Amino acid sequence: MGMFARAGAMVSALGLVASLALTGCAAEQKEAEFVGGTTSAGPAAPGEKGASGGPGASAEPEAPTTPSGPPLAVSPADGAKGRPVSAEISAELPGGGKVASVTLSAAGGGQVEGRLRADGSSWVPSKPLKYATRYTATVTATGADGATSQGTSTFTTMAKPRSVISSGLYLFDDKTYGVAMPVVTEFHPGIPKKDRAAVQRRMFVQTDPPQPGAWHWVSNGTQAYYRAPEYWKPGTTLTVRIALAGIPLSNGRHGNVDRSATAKIGRAFEMKVDNATKQMTVHEDGQVVRTLPVSLGKKKTPSSSGTMVVMEKKESTVFDTRDDPDPANRYVTDIDFAQRITWGGEYIHAAPWSVAQQGRVNVSHGCVNVSMANAKWLFGKTKVGDPITIKGTERKLVPGNGWTAWNLSWSEFVKGSAVPVPEGGAQPAF
């Protein structure tokens, strides 16, 4: 079975929660919390817990204390008020040069930890600054001629804003995902196009072992995906900080919270489905481990062709399509071993009623039907983030209908970045 569904969103006190009203194959009600930092004890940024850089690491080492160059003009400027709690510390460096070190202290004591960007352009606090609080920053920089300069600024942050944009991160601390798991951020309402570059510069991803990557924005600005040119290397650690608390947007809103998570990438596991043969070929660590007969969507309700990602797994659920406008597509059915691959309602799942058609003819409402035994075996092998590629059907996968980051070539993917991406992918900012 299977058919496209609808996805809605609502804001809860715990963060952004998507309430997915599913029709057709995905016809159940579900609430999926976007996690990563609201309640977890994970790192506040790449660089904590021994990672190799990012806000939240230990404070920068002390730089030379005897300046030999002219005084620096620090940003935020001395005496500035109403500064965002997302403020980074920088300085004007005429003739070139880089920020060498920063110390930042809140009124009443307490030094703030942070990290320099790799290009030396600014220093990023490891956590959002406090609202309505006075801070003093001391910046030391090294000029192109090797001379050191220093400057000091005392500024005050803004009061807590009333209008915020809700954000989410589809990543859990200490979980293991498949090699195609993109870093997925969600925003409600979407980020205006003119603000995406500033927001993107505050979305940090660190990989160990290091792999270049890039962000890609969905056209309406409600989601952004981060991926590498190829699937992640098995065993990779992803350390993510979406540092948006207090960031000002052009529509008068501000980012609501920082979110962070550290997760692992597991073994290489991939599913490939060919409509011509009605077979699924399952690969693990580069080897074919099983071939399964399938039945895909019939012509009236075809399956999507493209590369998708397992987004959630349910050992048992109910598909309820009683609100479908077509009476022929209305049903309530118990489903076993369901694995969602699109927001629109396409799943891999057990379909004992279509075993005779599997491998021969398509009879589903868009889902990938397999036998009960094969569905149970597959369910026991897969992880959220494992890729599935379907080819040869009447329908192409729609961008944003699921985690569609891998349905684009690398050259197409980087076109969706709000900032220029170097050939081969951007390196971490820290």
Asked if 367 is an active-site residue, the reply is yes
CA distance 103 to 252: 30
Pairing outcome for strands 203-208 and 214-217: unpaired
Is the distance from CB of 369 to CB of 3 less than 8 angstroms? Answer: no
Is the distance from CB of 384 to CB of 178 less than 8 angstroms? Answer: yes
| Greatest Cα-to-Cα distance within the chain, rounded to the nearest angstrom | 83
CA distance 33 to 119: 35
In one-letter notation, the amino acid at residue 35 is V
Host H or E run for residue 312:
strand 312-320
Host H or E run for residue 182:
none
Q: What is the DSSP string of 63-117?
A: PPSS--SPPP-EESPTT--SB-TTPPBEE--TTSEEEEEEEEEETTS-EEPEEE-
Catalytic residue among 216, 254, 365, 367: 367
Instruction: Please list the residues that pair with 274 across neighbouring strands.
Output: 279, 391
C-alpha torsion 107→78→104→35, nearest 10: 90
Let me know the angle formed at the C-alpha of 144 by 141 and 148, rounded to the nearest 5 degrees: 35
Q: Calculate Rg over the CA atoms of the chain.
A: 24
Tokens representing 101 are 């070190």
Nearest to 382 by CA among 240, 181, 168, 227: 181
CA distance 298 to 365: 6
Instruction: Please list the residues that pair with 255 across neighbouring strands.
Output: 165
Looking up tokens 């868009």 gives 366
In one-letter notation, the amino acid at residue 341 is I
Tokens representing 349 are 């799942």
Tokens representing 64 are 């030379």
Asked if 216 is an active-site residue, the reply is no
Catalytic residue among 216, 254, 349, 365: 349
Q: Which residues are catalytic?
A: 349, 367
